[in-house]
Copies of this chain bind each other. A is one copy, B any other.
Amino acid sequence: MLNITKLDDPLFSPHSLNKFASLMTSGNGYMGVRASHEEDYTQQTRGMYLAGLYHCAGRGETSELINLPDVVGVQLEVNGDPFTLLSGEIVSWQRELDFSCGELRREVVWRSPSGARVRIVSRRFASMAHLPLLAMQVTVTALDEDVSLTFSTGIDGTQTNSGRQHLDELSLRVFGQEVLQGAWATQSSDTEVVITSHIQLSQAAESCFAAKNRRLLQNSSLLLSAGDSVTLDKFNWVVQREPDSLSLETFSRRCLNELQTCATLGYDALRDASLAVWREGWQARRVLVNSTNPADQQALDFTHYHLVAMTPLHDERSSIAAKALTGEGYKGHVFWDTEVFLLPYHQFTAPQTARSLLRYRYLNLPGAREKARRNGWHGALFPWESARSGHEETPEFAAINIRTGLRQKVASALAEHHLVADIAWAVVNYWHATHDEAFMRSEGVSLLTETATFWISRAVEANGRLELHDVIGPDEYTEHVNNNAFTNYMAWHNVEQALHFVAQFGELQPAFAASAADFLQRLWLPEPDAKGVLAQDDTFMRKPTIDLTKYKAKAGKQTILLDYSRAEVNEMQILKQADVVMLNYMLPERFPDAVSQANLAYYEPRTIHDSSLSKTIHGIVAARCGNVEQAYHFWREGSEIDLGEEPHSSDDGIHAAATGAIWLGAVQGFAGLSVHKGELHLAPELPAQWQRLSVPLCWQGVRFTVEANQEAVTVTSAAEISLWLWGRKISVNGQQRYHKSDFISSKIGTATMVRAE
């Protein structure tokens, strides 16, 4: 038994409905279905999304993941009282998401306003064995007396993305007494969606159908005897049809047949088939920790569950949305989050998935080239926010400016260009972890060349050198600056690696080689000051500071924008998230630990951590600098972005990058994984709370496990693997145990020793 943790929704509260709807999303990489209750609540946002299914709903809008017609809703009446936990009495409540198989379960005993007690048990999962299948079951038991029940459920096309409708209804129809089917087309006619639902009650009921106002419903009434139960099984098949495939009619008939086959198997058999697929992933990829805080293992299981549920293995034209498939935040767009925060997990545990995600960028090179050209540059300028087409999808406006009353423009698409270098960075990392030559010769070389070409064209002559002007670094509270350290260093790394790998795997054009060499020689790379602090950009150090205590206490909520306009924030030393610290994290070979330490000390007090990308990165840098307890503190805080107690933290979706960062923190922070000169390094250093950490990894085709405790490390590998442990090269084939004391004399020295190598 794997003994995988679960996530509890501890009590029913209107305030936390949407948080748990996000956290407990049923997903399989193909679809995501928010864990909304079967019954409606005014604050509850339902959501069902297919990976890559975007559409733009009108003028001034950008493409967004379509919130599809709902199938989860089941309106139940007990003796005429609508079942809602706001009225009557909740006699008992239990709700959990079982990470092991992604099954969401709720068991409620409810006393209706008229006094009838019923037990309502509901379960659902998105199948890993049949990706288009969402299976549901609701069982009602009459606990004391006979009750009359009505169930109303079907396919509800009134769903919108906050009022934006993407779909035109093509048809609604019914087959026999049990099957409903609806077909919709996106308003731009790019694609069609067919949803088929098979609904069956375990007892005879009086049923009728209604098709009105975009809703297709089956309404059933029955009398349930005291002590009896009735079960509603509902199987839903959700697919999109590309216009050049089968005719809609043939396609719809096929959906019907596939669904009927599933329905014949029944809920439990379908769940077992899905569980079997999940189990393989857990066995191969789960990070295990023995901690005094059981929430630590839960956080790591949360990460594996969601990283699988959000990743579209089936389709390399799709990548991972910033809120996964769990909500509409950021409209389902893809950011640098994927390459920087999510790719490492796949690269080190399921490299084919990392390859597919990089292919997404490769396939979107045309849009990136076009964006560069439109702005007067060469090469590839990837869109800051990306969807299906590869074109820029960043919305135009953000929050209201408290001074002018007008909405403030979003500048990221114009100037937040570091993403280009981040993608190149990810390509290089992928190469080191996989030595995937086929990829590097084709996609890798293209991505590196095009990104490097962009930077070379982006640099300007100034002060007798090359500079990068008018950019935004990861810290989005500081816009339109020159020589942002993060951007300059990452661009330099981009061009350097391109030069290296193109020479090795492609054809190095002399013109490119010359301009790249010139760029590398002349690009201004700001130096740390005497204390080791790197200026975030040309003007940052001259700006005033203010006390950020009250804003840091509400990190993630951007409360500073309720007191200051963005323009005002821009003119102070206020960071939304790590910027120089992030740079230290990404290019550890480039910066001695003393520099990282100095930057952490300087910038952290100036950082609100209003971005969910911030804290865990601070934690990893702290761990690398030997501050394991500080690292653990950051790591815990990072894992609480979604899993903490703030009831609205995740209303519009989980924070995919922060979820990936939970794994990064454990593996790059506490297992000390890093790559230097293309070689794998480990330097486990567990926080006091952890007795054991076990990490399965895949390095250049070899799968192995690293298990660390406070004193020793055991490496288990079925094939020969070479790596550096605490600064010393080791080679393992089979199982080998290493005592830390044989490597380093004291904890204090650890970091210095390893880095000194």
Q: Which of A8-55 contact B (CB under 8 A)?
A: 14-15, 39-43
> Which residues from B are CB-within-8-Å of A638?
none
Q: Within the complex, what minimum Cβ distance (angstroms) separates A322 from chain B? A: 16
Q: Is A165 within 8 A of B173, CB to CB?
A: no
Q: Which of A67-89 contact B (CB under 8 A)?
A: 80, 82, 84, 86-87
> Which residues from B are CB-within-8-Å of A212?
399
Q: Within the complex, what minimum Cβ distance (angstroms) separates A289 from chain B? A: 36
Q: Is B399 within 8 A of A163, CB to CB?
A: no
Partner of A165, one of B40, B57, B406: B57
Q: Within the complex, what minimum Cβ distance (angstroms) separates A684 from chain B? A: 43
Q: Is A59 within 8 A of B172, CB to CB?
A: no
Q: Does A159 contact B (CB under 8 A)?
A: yes
Q: Is A165 within 8 A of B168, CB to CB?
A: no
Chain multiplicity (copies): 2
Q: Does A208 contact B (CB under 8 A)?
A: yes
> Which residues from B are CB-within-8-Å of A397?
211
Chain B's closest residue to A80 (CB) is B15
Q: Is B162 within 8 A of A163, CB to CB?
A: no
Chain B's closest residue to A397 (CB) is B211
Q: Within the complex, what minimum Cβ distance (angstroms) separates A24 from chain B? A: 20
Chain B's closest residue to A161 (CB) is B213
Q: Does A400 contact B (CB under 8 A)?
A: yes
Q: Which of A385-423 contact B (CB under 8 A)?
A: 397, 399-400, 402, 405-407
Q: Does A160 contact B (CB under 8 A)?
A: yes
Q: Is A173 within 8 A of B405, CB to CB?
A: yes
Chain B's closest residue to A172 (CB) is B407
Q: Within the complex, what minimum Cβ distance (angstroms) separates A17 from chain B? A: 11
Q: Does A601 contact B (CB under 8 A)?
A: no
Q: Which of A118-177 contact B (CB under 8 A)?
A: 157-160, 162-165, 168-176
Q: Does A644 contact B (CB under 8 A)?
A: no
Partner of A173, one of B60, B86, B159, B407: B407
Q: Is A562 within 8 A of B87, CB to CB?
A: no
> Which residues from B are CB-within-8-Å of A562?
208
Q: Does A58 contact B (CB under 8 A)?
A: yes
Please, how many angstroms separate the alpha-carbon atoms of A41 and B160 in the complex? 18
Chain A residues with a Cβ under 8 A of chain B: 14-15, 39-43, 57-61, 80, 82, 84, 86-87, 157-160, 162-165, 168-176, 185, 187, 208-215, 328, 397, 399-400, 402, 405-407, 562
Known: A157-B163, A158-B163. 8 other contacts (CB 8 A): A59-B168, A61-B168, A159-B163, A160-B160, A162-B214, A162-B215, A163-B165, A172-B407
A-B contact pairs, 29 of them (CB 8 A): A40-B42, A41-B42, A42-B42, A57-B165, A58-B168, A58-B169, A59-B185, A60-B168, A61-B169, A84-B86, A86-B87, A87-B87, A157-B163, A158-B160, A158-B162, A158-B163, A160-B163, A160-B165, A163-B213, A164-B165, A171-B407, A172-B400, A173-B400, A173-B407, A208-B562, A209-B402, A209-B405, A211-B399, A213-B328
